[in-house]
Amino acid sequence: MTTEQQPPQDMHLTRSSRDTDAMAATLAPWLAERLPSGADVEVALSGASDANGMSSETILADVTWTEDGERSTRGYVIRMAPAAKDVPVFQTYRLDHQYEAIRLVGELSDVPVPTPRWLEPTGDVLGQPFFFMERIDGLVPPDVMPYTFGDNWFFDASDADKRRLQDSTVRQIAALHSIPRAAEVFGFLDIDTYAGDTPLRRLFDKLATWYRWAAAELAPSPLIDEALAWLEANWPEFDGPGSTADNVLSWGDARIGNALYVDFEPVAILDWEMAGIGPRELDLGWIVFAHKVFQSITDVFEMPGLPDVLRAEDVSATYTAATGVEVHDLRWFEIYSAVIWGVVFMRTGARQVHFGELDGLPEDVDSLFHHAPLMRKLLAEVSA
């Protein structure tokens, strides 16, 4: 590996300019109103790990209070919508939707999710909506540096343990998709303000709208434009008008970096800000593509990576074994995922400029995409 091919040493992304000391002082009286009288609340905050996630703020909280004469400290995680000044990734953040999705999944299934505790949906307390959920201990395959780079617990595990983690995660996705009457129970996630006669059509319109918003600040992406045109021209046949396709609760950001593990089994499924209603293949295509992104980065640097992890055929086979449902070809959903990743990179690129981590935006927007070579490869394959 040449000097030019060395992987980057620092992939830190600033997410917020928030003052956690001031935030803790504000939260203590707010929590006191929700805890027993005389709780004498103390709040200690710390920033969550930079190893994963690029959108919502995630803050660790230790909350101490007195109840029934005993003083104790409990650990929580605060999820907070980012401030507009910090260049948010998404156009809107419905923290109330995330909270309700997590609550319902916990009530209606055995899928492991954190217990949500307190929701502040108005933004009146801290300037942005937020909610508390109970903290769960576990390990997560890191995003920074990507777990495919090596020197982490997942990369160093045996092949059998890697496959155990993969299969157990896919089975949790299958369990999530098995929640009955999902389109009705989680109907608040199927936003009818977007155009389309199926949930997937509405998600596609939401994605195109989000992309146009991101492009208005930077510039259009030729790669995303090509991918959106291909997706429209090759719309899945099973999702036509009057379709009887099975629409389920979609995790939305289904990848192993968004779960906590103990002994290679998921103990918490995290990050629900992209949850929605749609075909099963949304989550399956996403988990396959997300791994391909990290694997493709190692390929650029001529590193071995993990080429045998989360292959589409293996993910589909495990899912079918768990549900009895045959999975459609995932390639359309991988390219759909690639567009979402591209818009995320457009927004995080703009954020890096805002925080001084980039000198300026490049003339070629596509150069912001870590997955651009992979995206071009996939489009070439389906267009051949």
∠131-132-133 over CA atoms, to 5°?
Answer: 125
Class of domain 20-134: alpha beta
What confidence score (pLDDT) does residue 55 get? 57
How far apart CA 358 and CA 365 sit, in angstroms, is 13
What confidence score (pLDDT) does residue 2 get? 39
96 belongs to the catalytic site: no
What confidence score (pLDDT) does residue 377 get? 96
How far apart CA 231 and CA 245 sit, in angstroms, is 18
How far apart CA 29 and CA 302 sit, in angstroms, is 53
Answer for the pair 201, 243: CB distance below 8 angstroms, yes or no: no
What confidence score (pLDDT) does residue 4 get? 39
What confidence score (pLDDT) does residue 49 get? 47
Answer for the pair 55, 27: CB distance below 8 angstroms, yes or no: no
Q: Coil, strand, or helix at residue 280? A: coil
What confidence score (pLDDT) does residue 289 get? 98
What confidence score (pLDDT) does residue 48 get? 61
Strand partners, 59: 47, 78
pLDDT along the chain (384 residues), means of 10: 44 57 95 96 80 68 96 96 89 93 98 97 95 97 95 98 98 98 95 91 97 95 98 93 79 98 98 96 98 95 96 98 96 98 95 86 92 97 90
Q: Out of 253, 308, 314, 366, which one is annotated catalytic?
A: 253
